[in-house]
Amino acid sequence: MGASVLVVSPNRPSRASVTTFRALVWSGFRRYATYRQATVAGMFTNIVFGFLRCYVLLAVAGGAAGGMAAGYDPTQLATYVWVGQGLLNVVGIWGWTDLSDRIRTGDIAADLLRPVPPVTAYLAADLGRATHGMLARFIPPVIVGLIFFPLAVPARWQTVPLFALSVILAVIGSFACRFLVNATAYWLQDARGPIMLWTLGSGVLTGLYFPLRLFPDWAVAVLWLGTPLPGLLQTPLDVAAERDSPALQAGLVALQAVWAVIMLALARLVQHRAERKLVLQGG
């Protein structure tokens, strides 16, 4: 198979208009709203695993001194689990291979010729996906949790707006991480290895399977300060459960925002480097 070199013009527009961005968000929403049966099946699976995770963590709390595990009481743990099950498909840490697939097949060339840069276009579509997930996949697990378990009701006025901001930052941070993992295909041609490593590691290090506060304090500090991973799930879940004081919660969300900006900027940098000289297989 031959190879051709595509050099992208540096004069290509770097920003999309608000109208274009909104249209891309809407297209992402419609794409995921099409698969109604998959949505229902995924929602059912999330609820089933919610029961399993909740009973396991409640058992951990029941066997701990004072009935609390890592600073969470049973109500906070139940809230952590069921809000986490709802956020799983909103944040979307798994299952996205659009970029790596298009790099592997060479279809990325069409994306590079469009007026909207790939990072912006994929981010807009991902925000549409997250919006659909919030409407279709977040609410049902939380309602089930409310029916079968005592969940924590926000006692502070700032919890709800801070949680909403934290979820938005988690979606952006998750997108940037997934984009970087997929972008390894620019150099490897096949990103299945990095994607598999991401899938295995992200479930543990984002706080999906269990709260990261169960780790030793030094490990928690390293993860929170040195990686963006806790900001993808742990931070919004701790905000929802009101695990910490208002000042500490605000600080964690601010750290989450810093990491979201860093990772998004890194995604743009990697994409720019890849665009400078891209070899398309079979061109």
- Paired residues of 3 in beta bridges: 281
- pLDDT at position 76 is 93
Specify the amino acid at residue 35: Y
Q: What sign does the CA torsion over 58, 63, 65, 67 have?
A: positive
Q: What is the mean pLDDT of residues 45-68?
A: 87
CB 213 within 8 A of CB 80: no
- Kindly indicate the confidence band of residue 7, based on its pLDDT and cuts at 50, 70 and 90: very low
- pLDDT at position 15 is 55
- pLDDT at position 4 is 40
Long-range contacts of 152-161 (CB under 8 A, 24+ apart): 152/75, 152/76, 152/78, 152/79, 152/240, 152/241, 152/242, 154/240, 154/242, 155/242, 156/242, 156/246, 158/246, 158/249, 158/250, 159/239, 159/240, 159/242, 159/249
Specify the amino acid at residue 255: L
Closest CA to 86 of 146, 24, 169, 25: 146
- pLDDT at position 226 is 94
Least confident of 23-27, 110-114, 165-169, 270-274: 110-114
Specify the amino acid at residue 75: T
Please provide the average confidence, as pLDDT, over all residues in the chain.
87
Closest CA to 162 of 226, 259, 252: 252
- Paired residues of 280 in beta bridges: 4
Taking only the tens place, the pLDDT of each residue in 212-232 is 999 999 999 999 999 999 999
Specify the amino acid at residue 267: A
171 or 31, which is more confident: 171
Q: What is the mean pLDDT of residues 192-205?
A: 91
- Kindly indicate the confidence band of residue 18, based on its pLDDT and cuts at 50, 70 and 90: confident
DSSP conformation letters of 210-275:
S-GGGS-HHHHHHHHHH-SGGGGTHHHHHHHHT-S-HHHHHHHHHHHHHHHHHHHHHHHHHHHHHH
How many Cβ atoms are within 10 Å of 41's Cβ, its own excluded? 11
How many Cβ atoms are within 10 Å of 255's Cβ, its own excluded? 17
- pLDDT at position 189 is 83
Residue 278 has pLDDT above 70, yes or no: no
- pLDDT at position 220 is 92
Closest CA to 80 of 9, 140, 141: 141
What residue has token string 């706080």?
Answer: 207
Taking only the tens place, the pLDDT of each residue in 88-146 is 989 998 888 899 999 888 888 888 888 889 999 999 999 999 999 999 889 999 999 99
Least confident of 161-175, 208-222, 269-283: 269-283
Q: What is the mean pLDDT of residues 74-81?
A: 93
- pLDDT at position 252 is 95
2 or 242, which is more confident: 242
- pLDDT at position 10 is 44
Tokens of 268: 């743009």
Q: What is the mean pLDDT of residues 165-193?
A: 93
Closest CA to 136 of 54, 44, 43: 43
- Paired residues of 281 in beta bridges: 3
- pLDDT at position 276 is 79
